[in-house]
Every structure is written in structure tokens, then in C-alpha cells.
Chain A
Amino acid sequence: MFSAIGSGVGVHGDFQGLDGPHLAGDPCLVLTTDPKPRLRWTAELHERFVDAVTQLGGPDKATPKTIMRTMAVKGLTLYHLKSHLQKYRLGKQSCKDLPDNSKDASCLAESQDTDSSASSSSKIAQDLNDGYHVTEALRVQMEVQRRLHDQLEVQRRLQLRIEAQGKYLQSILEKACKVLNDQAAATAGLEAAREELSELAIKASNDSNGLVPVDALKVPSISELAVSLENKNPSNLPARFGDCSIDSCLTSNGSLVSPMGVASQAAAMKKRPRPLFGNGDSVPLEWMITNSG
């Protein structure tokens, strides 16, 4: 049924489909009898229309103005033609997908037109009108369906996108925590080394004349560290470091997060001992630091 309609005939959407009285004369316009006179696109009129359009090179090339001139029908306005042309074009579009049916339909239409008695032409017009209504309704329904389908598609895609982002954030969080823990573990190792060195320094200063009371300066805090290390709880180490009010490499800003990793921390460590080990024993100790770092 729809293929017949799809043969490219369109009509004004508000068409009543009444069998109103024909006005005499040909070519003439048939107007409906309802309060607002509307144009009835009879088969004849439509055929003229199709001829004109074909003459002008097809529905896409033809314009309402040119069709009007070509058709040369009295009383036909641009307004009528605009809407009829639009319907025709749309009909042509949907018709493209049904090539076989349209051929049958156009044959049907042609054969019907050649009979060309008043009753048959009005009957065809009637059928066509009904068909046009259905086309309209169908089109609207398709719009709604398409919209719903799109919205569902969007929802589905959104879910996938949210999932992807969530998965990524989870994984980057885990990796960041791992990096942090690795660094803490590395610093733990360094702190152990540092502890050893400070003990050596104490020994060294005790051996020497004890110019700098190194033990008074640093030992309490380092023993704190030693305690924490013995507790073997690496994740708590940063807390410990924070509690110590020494300006070790861990509370300062740059050194812990250097991209070069442990090597730079060792390098940073190198600077640290100077205030501590103020006497002449610093050189061999630094050498020991770099080796143990």
C-alpha cells in the first residue's frame, strides 16, 4: 500500500478528502467545500505538475516559481506549489528504497490516469489522499521512534563512558599509591643507612676531641626513627618523619619526588649531613653515603 503512495505524489497535509463539487473547466483547480477553501490535487493536476517538474530537470532542480510558470494553471499560487513540491520530494526520497514497488505504482498510476473518467480520477485522488495522511502519521511516528532510539543509544554510550573513566581513575589511584609506598620503602632504606652513619659520626666525634656535640643534636630523633623502623611498619614512616621537626629531605619539598628516584635522594642526602657532621670527618662519611644509597 505504501509503495503506491511512495510513487512520489504528495498533497497538502490538511486535505479533507471530501468529494466536493468540481468547478467546470480544464485545466482548472478543484477547491474543497469546507470553510477554508483548499486546493485539491487531482490526478490530472498532479500529472501536469509531474510533467513540469520533469521538464525542469527533476524535483531537486525545479522551484515553485518555475513550476508555476511551466504549468500555467490559473489560480495556482506559489504557496500551493511549495508544499506540494516538498511532499513530492519527500515522497521521492522514501521511494528510492523501494525501486520495484515504485515502478509498479507508477504503472498503476499511469494506467489509471489513462482511463481518466471523473469517478475514477476522484477515486484515485481519494486513495492518494488517504495514503498521504498515513504517510504523515507514519513519518511523525518514525520521528518519535528515532528519537527514542537515539536517547537509548546515548544512555548506553554514557554508561560505557562513565565506566571507562571510573576504571581509569581507579587504576591511576592504585598506581599512585604504589608509587608513594615504594618511595616510603626506599626512604626507609635510606633512613636505616642514615642511622648507621649517625652512629658512626657519634663514634667519630667521641674519638676526636668532641668539638661538635653531635649526639646532643641528632640522636634523639634518629633513635625515634630507629624505633619506627624496628616496628617494621613502612606505611607509618611518613608520619614519623613529619613528627620530627628536623628538616630532613623528607619534610622538604623537592627531593622526595624527584623523577630520578633513589639516586637523587641519595644526592639530596649528601647535602644533609653537613650541618650534622660539622667536623673534619665529613669526607669519608659522604663517600660512605653515596655507596650505601
Chain B
Amino acid sequence: MSYQPIPTIDWWAIAPVSIVMVTGIVALLIEMFRPNRNNNTIVAVSLVGLFLAGLSVVPQFSMPFGSSFGGMVVRDYLGLVLQLLLITVCFVAFLFSEPYLREKRIAFAEFYQLALWASAGGMIMVTTENLLMFFLGLEVLGIALYCLTGMCRQELRSEESAMKYFLLGAFGTAFVLMGIAYLYGPTGSLRIDAVSIAVASDQPHFVLMALFGFGLLLVGLCFKSALVPFHQWTPDVYQGAPTNVTAFMASTSKIAAIGALIRVLAAGAPLVSYWFPIMFWVAILSMVVGNFAALVQKDVKRTLGYSSVANGGYMLVAVLAHVQAPEKVSLASTLFFITGYGVMTMGAFAVVSLAARDGKEGTRFQDLHGLWHRAPFAAGCLILFVASLIGVPPTVGFFGKMFIFNDALAAGLLPLALVLAVTSVVSAYYYLGIIQAVFVQEEGAVKNESGRPQAGLNLAVLLCALAIFGISLGAENVLKFMAPAEDGRQPVAERTVAQR
């Protein structure tokens, strides 16, 4: 029996994911002792762990890009930027979670462990070119989120939404698996570019299988990205989940799924003429349905849920523009918009989480009344987040949409650009409802009446607000920083057909 040589391991490439996962395990161990019978230690350790993970990403920007572990882990701008973003999102979520969870009487330490692992799952999804790894990341992320959604057991709505999310998620996962199987069948490869292998094989039925496999894979990803018509879980789950989980989920799940979608669509380039019209219509439907359905919602979290559907549509426009004309349109504006989206969403949900008082939580618009008096700083920042979601210049939301609009025009996707412009005008209407609700006075409101420590929340909100200012002021530099993501390192471009 011959032994294979032990390959050299690129420790840096797996460091961020490993650190986050190990932090989760450490948090699990700390929970056994529960010092002081509270979660403060766990939060502190988690934050330190996330910070270290972020530190381990930064030096990789200057390391040679490429794949290791046989393509299972890949290092490129797309992956690194999104990893950093996922870590930041988790960090911000942890900052404001503890007081909220206490207020709702559900301060389970498992939240931190599961959220950390979910983050790790998302990080895996955005840094791999291997379908098996992609699937594992998807499941780690998904299962952790199903459980987190249902963690508020005294609320029927929470349990119901967890069940819905789980069943539909399993349904979506089935499509992903079936798609992977169809891609693996003809090519014997689990690499993401199995499509091009099948095309290169020059056998018609191989191409056919790969095409259908690719289609099913897209279905699964559209489900995770909450794109129409696979979006119906979004408002229900966003509404039912505890607000800090919603914030975490809205950002992490979307970032990871869109990141994976970018890679999958880029890898599907050889068959682009087949699937492009599908994604084209998915993008249009997402923008239209998301924005218009949000108009008639009476619940803030549902509204933001539909807004998330619409934002998924905007991101898809950017991705499609890149896929359509990779030589003209870089991924920079996609990354820019995703970054902005993550920050805005976290900030907005963090403020909305203030609606929870005394174990009860109402998230209808009128439950936000008087927030301006209870928490003026957070409410003031909410204006900023909402302005950014609307796309009022010079916020990051405006620049993001403008860049995407330009990209779509440059790629010759005029209809998408127009739908984007028109629907984002429509969106102003429902976003303003949120602001208005915050400013309406509540009978007998007292400043900070709950006495809940708001330092963590204020810090989280401040971070998001600063990020919005920072990104929009330095739009040029941020864009330049993200632009190298295009430097010919698209997953498909340099790939030769892998061996079977």
C-alpha cells in the first residue's frame, strides 16, 4: 500500500473559519461553568474570538491568491471581503444581543455558539469552489438558523416560523443536493465548475444533466437569498424570529448566499445563454414583488423582510451585470452594495429590537411610537439607516444603487436598470413609514423607561452609523479596494478542466 505524501497546509486560508468555530466550542465549554450565572463572559470571549478571526483575514489580502485543499478553500478578494463582512456582522449582532435577550427572558447561551457556527458556515460558503464544502457550509448556516429562529419558545410565532423555515429550508436543500448530484454524475467532479467540464466533454447528455443540475442548484441558492418566487418564507421568518436573530440572519444568510451565487453563476458562464433569462426575471420579480408587497405591511419586521427580498433583487442585478460583461463590469459594486446592505440592515434591526419591553415584543409600526423619546440616539441613527435604505445621497445606499445602475447600463441591461430605479423610488414610501412611526409620540413615555443598559446597543448602532458615513465618504477608496476582485481571478477564467 502506497502512502500519499502529506500535502503542505495553507493554515492562513482556514484560519478565520477555524478561529470562529473554535470560539464557538470555547463558548460551549464556558457555558458549562456559567460564571456569575450570566452570559457576559461568553459574549466577551466571542467578541475576542471574532476580533482575532478578523485579524487573521486582513494579512491575507497581501498573500498570493489561489486555492488550497484541492479547491475546497479559495483565497480571493470576493471571499476575503465577504468573510470580513460576515465577521463584522456577527460582532455587531453580539454587541446588542444580550440586553435584548434578557429583556425577552430568553438569554440562552446557545445563541452565541450557534450564531458563531452559523457565521463560520457562511464564511465557508463564500470561500470555496467545491460543491461539497459549499453544501456543508450551507447546512451549518441553515440548521443553526432554524434553531435560532425558534429559540423564543414562549412565542407561538417564533416556533411557527422556525418550523416553516426548517421545512422549506429542507425542501430547498433537497434541490441543492439533487443539483449537485446531477453535476457530479456526468463529470465525477465536485468542483463548482463542473458545468464547464461537462461542456468540454462534448457529450450532449452530459451537458443536459449538468444544465439541469445547475438549474436546481440555482433554485436552492435563490431560496437562501430570498429571491422571488422562493421568497415566501422571508417575511414570516423575519417576523417570527427574535429581532437580534432576524438582524443576524438577514445579513449573514444574504451575504453568504449571494457570495455563493456569484461564484456559481460565474462558473455557469459556459451555459449562460440558457440560464440568463431565468435570473433576469428572478431579479425583476424580486425587485417588484419585494418593494410593492412591502407597501402594505403593518409590521416593521415584515416590511424589512420584503425589503430584504427587494435588496436581493438589486444585488442580483449587479451580479448579472458582471456575468454579462465581465470585462467591463467588476464585482466591486456588488461587494460595495452588499457591504452597505449588511451595515444598514444590522443597524436598522438593532434599533427595532428596542421595541421589546418586559418580555413582550410588538413589532407593528405603532409599537415603535415614542422611540424618539426613549432612545433618541438610536432613533436618530435609524433615520440614517432608513435614509440609506431609501438611497438618499450621499449615503452608502445611494452610492450602492448608483453603482449598480451604472453597471447595469454598462452591461446593456437597461430594463433591469429601469426597474431598479423605479422600484427604489417606490420603496421610499414604506421606509418613511418606519421613520414616521419612530417620531410619533407615545402616551406617557419616559426616557429610557425600561432602564435597560443601552451601552452595547448604542455602540453597535454607532458602529453601523460610522460605517455608513465612512463608506460613503470614502466611496472611491472603498470601491478601489474592492475593485481588485475583478483582476482576472474569476473562478472560471483561469480554470483548466480538472481531472476526474
Indicate, yes or no, whether A interacts with B.
Answer: no
